[in-house]
């Protein structure tokens, strides 16, 4: 779907980014900027800055950057079109679409969804009526699920034939390309279309809007993997899809809590037991994307994993996410020896009680430590105390930690002060501990300006915020770092700052977004500001050029050296003289037709205007 570019620009210009961000973050005005605690990572001191004039934000802690559209996308985890449409509605702007592209995209998605919907109906009817689905119906009854449950969740049966579904959908005029695109069929080695799922109990997977996007198929014979899931398709992205969210989302919002399970039947069991706010991953580990999706509905998460070691281990990664995403994570008190679906069959009400009795994440971790310890011996209690210290040390809230210390001290019999002293000691070095997994390791982007010459960074700030200070003299040959060169060239070639942002990628984009929320350095000597700015950027560029000329035996070194000497002397006497010498040097650099440090390639012509800061 394509929104007319002019309308996207209008949305950006019409959005009060301070007002938008203030709905989620407490901002305080500091000079011409606004500051607050970053919503994208956990912090105690404000490192999140908003520039209302340019309509951008930047966090100096985690390096998150962007405009109003990016902010909405990142925080609510929605796509670009959704973000623009929300902001347009907020600003009272009627969007126009590129009808040809929009219609083509809509029609394609609609066709793929209809193919999936037909597959759901075919599989479902087969489960309810076909003799070959008898084993599937018997299996469901053995798990405590009757025909009403099968209808409620639109369960199905994939027969054992090679192309039963394929032929049925082709008869309904769906194309081979469409069936392959949504993962319902594939071409086998005999170059024939074959059904993706065969001889499996089918769990249709829906997106948040209720459109069918994939399947999970369970074998009842032991052939192949226990569960087989749809491949990634234009409709189905398993790292973001949660099974059951289409049915549970209203209840999740109403109850302000979500229950996360491991399997499809677990979700069914909770819903039928009166806990309709349960969801599950679709054959994959829980991801940060899943957490971001759930944050749109609630900050309160209850884990209802199987009470075995695998389920408990999977839950441990949530401690990091709890802090990073500012969510409240609790663990349901499920009895050992079975999954939620088993418990539903034996005692449906027990599922509700398990959720009501959910423990805090810290309590869950300590219970694991103490439950595995031999508390009947001094050695066992000592090991339990030391292991508990490692868990207790992780919690950042001293008051919360205090309550757990009292609890562990009572169980192990060690003095409360011993735990306090042990926690206060520095934690073991990283090389003494197991390396965290990728999923547990916080994602922190590097500071794009950290490796740049501070003088080049400051010149770029002025080019963005106050171009009049640099427009008449600044030239690409004055920058030595390739990143600074690329950023300047993009700024100089763009009609506006936002145009430069739209074209920037990677480190250049990160650098521009950061500089947009940083004020240029202004001190108490405004009368010499321009001269000092010129000198500070030109002098190191001239020194680099002089070194290059001397290395190559170029006679121009005899002209450049006196100018650099005048600049150095003027620093202590007359900034105006230094500025005049620096401007002469700029002209020589541009005329030399060679970039600093390389005499082989032509340099850019001197710039007479830097238009990008005109909107600052």
Bridge partners (DSSP) of residue 258 are: 301
Backbone phi, psi, residue 171, to 5°:
-65, -25
Q: What is the CA radius of gyration of the chain?
A: 32
283 plus 137 within the same structural domain: no
What pLDDT was estimated at residue 324?
A: 73
Q: Tell me what percent of the residues of the chain surpass a pLDDT of 70.
A: 87
331 plus 477 within the same structural domain: no
528 plus 589 within the same structural domain: yes
Residue 147 lies in a domain: yes
Q: Find the range with the poorest average confidence among 156-165, 229-238, 601-610.
A: 601-610
What pLDDT was estimated at residue 9?
A: 87
Q: Which residue has the higher pLDDT, 523 or 298?
A: 298
Checking if the pLDDT of 422 tops 90, the result is no
SS3 state at 398: helix
pTM assigned to the model: 0.56
Range 520-536 average pLDDT: 78
Residue 111 lies in a domain: yes
- Cα–Cα distances in angstroms (integers) from residue 410 to residues 228, 369, 382, 395, 456, in the given order: 48, 14, 13, 19, 60
What pLDDT was estimated at residue 107?
A: 78
Which of 152-166, 349-363, 389-403 has the largest mean confidence?
Answer: 152-166
Range 120-127 average pLDDT: 97
Confidence of residue 180 (pLDDT cuts 50, 70, 90): very high
Residue 122 lies in a domain: yes
- Cα–Cα distances in angstroms (integers) from residue 162 to residues 158, 186, 197, 198, 455, in the given order: 10, 11, 9, 7, 69
Q: Report how far residue 151's alpha carbon sits from residue 423's, in angstroms, rounded to the nearest whole number.
A: 54
Range 143-156 average pLDDT: 96
Q: Which domain holds residue 396?
A: 366-432
Among 432, 462, 487, the domain boundary falls at 432
554 plus 597 within the same structural domain: yes
469 plus 584 within the same structural domain: yes
387 plus 280 within the same structural domain: no
Q: Find the range with the poorest average confidence among 32-36, 321-325, 547-551.
A: 321-325
Residue 445 lies in a domain: no
468 plus 601 within the same structural domain: yes
- Domain of 295, CATH number, reads 3.40.1360.10
What pLDDT was estimated at residue 594?
A: 46
Range 353-364 average pLDDT: 87
Segment holding 125, helix H or strand E: helix 99-129
Among 229, 262, 282, the domain boundary falls at 229
Q: Find the range with the poorest average confidence among 142-151, 434-443, 507-516.
A: 434-443
- Domain of 157, CATH number, reads 3.90.980.10
Per-residue pLDDT of 234-243, as tens digits, reads: 899 888 899 9
Per-residue pLDDT of 51-78, as tens digits, reads: 988 889 999 888 888 999 999 888 777 7
191 plus 130 within the same structural domain: yes
What pLDDT was estimated at residue 327?
A: 86
Checking if the pLDDT of 126 tops 90, the result is yes
What pLDDT was estimated at residue 445?
A: 46
* Number of domains the chain contains: 5
CA 564 to chain centre: 48
Q: Report the chain's mean pLDDT, rounded to a whole number.
A: 83
Range 545-550 average pLDDT: 86
493 plus 591 within the same structural domain: yes
Among 357, 382, 400, the domain boundary falls at 357
417 plus 462 within the same structural domain: no
Question: With contact defined as beta carbons under 8 Å apart, do 567 and 538 qualify?
Answer: yes
What pLDDT was estimated at residue 289?
A: 82
End-to-end CA distance of the chain: give it in Å, rounded.
Answer: 32
- Domain of 57, CATH number, reads 3.90.580.10
What pLDDT was estimated at residue 610?
A: 41
Checking if the pLDDT of 495 tops 80, the result is no
Sign of CA pseudo-dihedral 296, 60, 614, 502: negative
Checking if the pLDDT of 536 tops 50, the result is yes
Residue 234 lies in a domain: no
Q: Tell me what percent of the residues of the chain surpass a pLDDT of 90.
A: 27
What pLDDT was estimated at residue 313?
A: 53
503 plus 580 within the same structural domain: yes
Q: Which residue has the higher pLDDT, 595 or 570?
A: 570
The interaxial angle of helices 416-424 and 378-394, nearest 10 deg, is 50
Checking if the pLDDT of 601 tops 50, the result is no
Residue 238 lies in a domain: no
268 plus 348 within the same structural domain: yes
Range 441-464 average pLDDT: 70
- Domain of 418, CATH number, reads 1.20.50
Residue 383 lies in a domain: yes
What pLDDT was estimated at residue 223?
A: 78
Checking if the pLDDT of 444 tops 50, the result is no
Q: Report how far residue 267's alpha carbon sits from residue 258's, in angstroms, rounded to the nearest whole number.
A: 11
Q: Report how far residue 509's alpha carbon sits from residue 513's, in angstroms, rounded to the nearest whole number.
A: 6
Residue 83 lies in a domain: yes
Q: Which residue has the higher pLDDT, 433 or 413?
A: 413
């Amino acid at each position: 779907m394509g929104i007319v570019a002019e309308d996207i620009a209008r949305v950006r210009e019409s959005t009060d980014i301070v007002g938008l961000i203030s709905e989620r973050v407490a901002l305080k005005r500091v000079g011409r900027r606004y500051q607050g605690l970053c919503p994208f990572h956990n912090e105690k001191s404000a490192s999140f800055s908003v520039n209302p004039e340019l309509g951008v934000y930047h966090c100096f802690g985690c390096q998150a950057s962007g405009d109003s559209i990016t902010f909405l996308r990142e925080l609510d985890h929605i796509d670009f079109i959704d973000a623009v449409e929300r902001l347009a509605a907020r600003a009272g702007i009627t969007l126009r679409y590129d009808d040809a592209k929009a219609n083509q995209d809509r029609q394609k998605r609609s066709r793929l969804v209809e193919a999936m919907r037909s597959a759901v109906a075919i599989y479902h009817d087969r489960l309810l009526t076909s003799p070959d689905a008898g084993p599937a119906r018997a299996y469901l009854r053995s798990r405590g699920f009757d025909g009403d449950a099968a209808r409620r969740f639109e369960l199905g049966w994939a027969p054992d034939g090679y192309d039963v579904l394929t032929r049925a959908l082709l008869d309904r005029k769906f194309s081979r390309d469409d069936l392959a695109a949504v993962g319902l069929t594939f071409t086998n080695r005999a170059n024939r279309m074959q059904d993706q799922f065969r001889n499996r109990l089918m769990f249709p997977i829906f997106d948040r809007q209720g459109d069918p996007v994939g399947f999970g198929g369970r074998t009842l014979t032991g052939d192949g993997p226990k569960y087989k899931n749809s491949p990634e398709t234009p409709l189905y992205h398993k790292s973001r899809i949660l099974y059951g969210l289409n049915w549970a989302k209203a209840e999740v919002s109403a109850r302000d809590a979500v229950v996360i399970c491991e399997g499809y039947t677990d979700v069914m069991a909770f819903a039928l037991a009166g806990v309709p706010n349960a969801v599950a991953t679709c054959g994959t580990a829980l991801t940060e994307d899943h957490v971001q999706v759930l944050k749109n509905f609630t900050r309160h998460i209850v884990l209802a994993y199987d009470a075995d070691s695998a389920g408990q281990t999977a839950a441990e990664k949530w401690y990091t996410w709890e802090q990073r995403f500012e969510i409240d994570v609790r663990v349901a008190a499920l009895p050992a020896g079975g999954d939620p679906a088993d418990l539903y069959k034996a005692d449906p009400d027990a599922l509700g009680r398990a959720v009501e009795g959910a423990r805090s994440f810290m309590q869950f971790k300590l219970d694991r430590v103490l439950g595995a310890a031999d508390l009947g011996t001094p050695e066992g209690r000592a090991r339990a105390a030391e292991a508990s210290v490692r868990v207790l040390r992780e919690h950042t809230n001293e008051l919360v930690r205090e309550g757990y210390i009292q609890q562990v001290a009572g169980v192990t019999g060690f003095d409360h002060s011993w735990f306090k002293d042990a926690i206060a000691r520095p934690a073991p070095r990283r090389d003494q501990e197991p390396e965290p997994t990728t999923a547990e390791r916080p994602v922190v982007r590097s500071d794009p300006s950290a490796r740049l010459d501070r003088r080049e960074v400051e010149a770029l700030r002025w080019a963005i915020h106050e171009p009049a200070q640099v427009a008449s003299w600044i030239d690409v040959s004055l920058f030595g770092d390739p990143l600074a060169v690329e950023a300047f060239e993009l700024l100089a070639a763009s009609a506006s700052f936002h145009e430069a942002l739209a074209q920037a990628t990677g480190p250049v984009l990160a650098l521009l977004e950061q500089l947009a929320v940083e004020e240029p350095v202004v001190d108490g000597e405004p009368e010499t500001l321009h001269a000092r700015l010129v000198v500070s950027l030109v002098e190191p560029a001239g020194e680099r050029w002089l070194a290059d000329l001397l290395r190559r035996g170029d006679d121009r070194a005899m002209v450049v050296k006196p100018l650099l000497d005048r600049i150095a002397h003027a620093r202590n006497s007359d900034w105006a003289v230094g500025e005049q010498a620096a401007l002469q040097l700029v002209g020589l650099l541009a005329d030399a037709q060679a970039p600093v440090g390389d005499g082989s390639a032509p340099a850019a012509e001197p710039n007479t205007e830097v238009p990008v800061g005109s909107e600052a």
